[in-house]
Amino acid sequence: MKQGPEERAVEQINVLDELLCERDGLLTVMDRIVALHGTARLIRATIGVDSGFVADLDGPDRAVVRWMSGTRTDLMQGLTVPVGQGIGGRAMALGRAVRVSDYVSSHEITHHFDAQVRGEGIGAMIAVPVFGKSRPVAVAYAAMRTATDFGDTAVQRMEDIAQQAATALRIAGAAEAKATGAVTAERQRMQNALHDSVGALLFSIGVQVRDLHHAIHDNPVLKTRLSRLESDISAASSALRESLLALSDTTPERALPVELAQCTRSFEARTGVSARFVELGQVAPMDAERTALLLAVVREGLLNIEKHARPHSVIVSLGPCDGGVQLVVADDGAGAMTEEASGTGMGVRSLAERAARVAGRVSLVRDDDGGCTLRAWLPDPR
């Protein structure tokens, strides 16, 4: 039977929706933080439990709960779980799923975290380790607010989710390694260029000055000036060595998007608040002053959000705008960023003054829904 225009339109919309879902899934696994946060939500949606949360290892023998979905309090946020303690620690120690029908009365686990579990109102729980190669790299939890028996089906679903999380983490790790490799390659290129050009030139000049210095015996004025020049060359060589060393420790200007993404990931890992970095278009490389200013803006904005905003989500975006580049830090919180200097000593006013020196601007806008938007715009360098 031949399809009419309406049926074809519906089919095309369905296909588009499927493609968008696949795209969202790919984006999720490209970022470690997003992957683990998504795992907490997936636990609730797949198993039908009251809450799901995920802890990742920040050392060889302990995990920290960072991502939660469906919790009533913040008691579990940032909870450090050593190997062997509680249900998650036992799952890490055994390398397999552990389930209890009532956490606080169970004899199978230690009770170091009963206060947090009671405060959250948790009854039954499952904990499953997420493996990276042959060792746990995270722990996935499912929890009910009542005492109940989790069946084998629920355990199997949790193990499937843990396997999906492990795959996502491997992909995210590969993506991060690629980005890091690109930054490292650029640093190495700059180091080699400086060493081969400026370094070689300074060495050549230094050799010639020293030869002249040794050849002149009867001209004290020229000899003094040559000594001063030799000292200046030595100082320039030292400055070059410091620059080459700094390139091995800091990110070059061309890696600004990588730095902004790292700041955003660190904020989410620290706070548990959903945060994304979005690159809206290719931005031309900037000099050190402009790069440092934009990094200061995003750090100041995220710090103020962490202290005052109490948001559910944060977006950091970077892209070309009106003949320049625009950086935006936006949240949907109930608090407010402060215009005065904050914990970093920068403050919006100070950042605005720095931006004005390069013909740019920084502004803070309080949105109608209670959130705040911090914007920085800098003109393209001429």
Q: What is the pLDDT of residues 98-142, one digit of tens each?
A: 999 999 999 999 999 999 999 999 999 999 999 987 789 899 999
Which residue bears the tokens 């030799």?
230
**Per-residue tokens: 89:** 């620690």
On the question of pLDDT at 145 being above 70, the answer is yes
How many percent of the chain have pLDDT more than 70? 64
**pLDDT 10s digits, 28-82:** 444 566 677 788 888 998 899 999 999 988 878 899 998 889 999 989 988 999 9
Q: Count CB atoms within 10 A of the CB of residue 342.
A: 17
Give 24's pLDDT tier (boundaries 50, 70, 90): very low
Q: Nearest-CA neighbor of 40 among 55, 29, 23?
A: 55
Q: Nearest-CA neighbor of 127 among 143, 116, 107, 146?
A: 143
Class of domain 5-174: alpha beta
Beta bridge partners of 278: 317
Rounded distance between C-alpha atoms, residue 157 and residue 142, angstroms: 11
Map residue 17 onto helix, strand or coil. helix
Q: Does domain 253-379 have CATH number 3.10.20.30?
A: no
pTM above 0.85, yes or no: no
Q: Count CB atoms within 10 A of the CB of residue 183.
A: 16
Task: Name residues whose C-beta falls within 8 Å of residue 148's C-beta, 6 or more positions apart in sequence.
Answer: 101, 123, 124
The answer to whether residues 158 and 99 touch, using CB atoms and an 8 Å cutoff, is no
Residues in the chain: 382
**pLDDT 10s digits, 242-299:** 555 555 554 444 468 888 888 888 888 778 888 888 888 888 788 888 888 898 899 8
Task: Give, in degrees to the nearest 5, the angle at Cα 137 between 134 and 139.
Answer: 115
Q: Nearest-CA neighbor of 158 among 125, 136, 111?
A: 125
Alpha helices (H) along the chain: 5-29, 32-47, 86-94, 114-120, 152-194, 200-215, 220-247, 256-271, 288-304, 347-356
Which residue bears the tokens 């209670």?
370
